Amino acid sequence: MLGIDDPQIWVAYILCFLSAIGCIIYGALKWNDGQDEEICSTVRASGRSDEEVY
């Protein structure tokens, strides 16, 4: 099949594609997690108002 007779090569290709798809799904789900919380905690910790930060 496609000139690749060794099943171990097929397993390696399949695992690579599954890993890439898993990384894409994980990245899409975690795209903006925690971004707002980090900004708010930095402003609170410094004691500045929003006008002074921007």
SS3 of 15-47: the string is: HHHHHHHHHHHHHHHCCCCCHHHHHHHHHHHHC
Distance (Å, whole) CA 7 – CA 30:
34
Distance (Å, whole) CA 25 – CA 34:
17
The sign of the dihedral angle between the CA atoms of 44, 45, 51, 53 is negative
* pLDDT tens per residue, range 11-49: 999 999 999 999 999 999 999 887 665 556 555 666 666
At residue 29, the pLDDT reads 93
Q: What is the DSSP letter of 5?
A: -
More confident residue, 52 or 19: 19
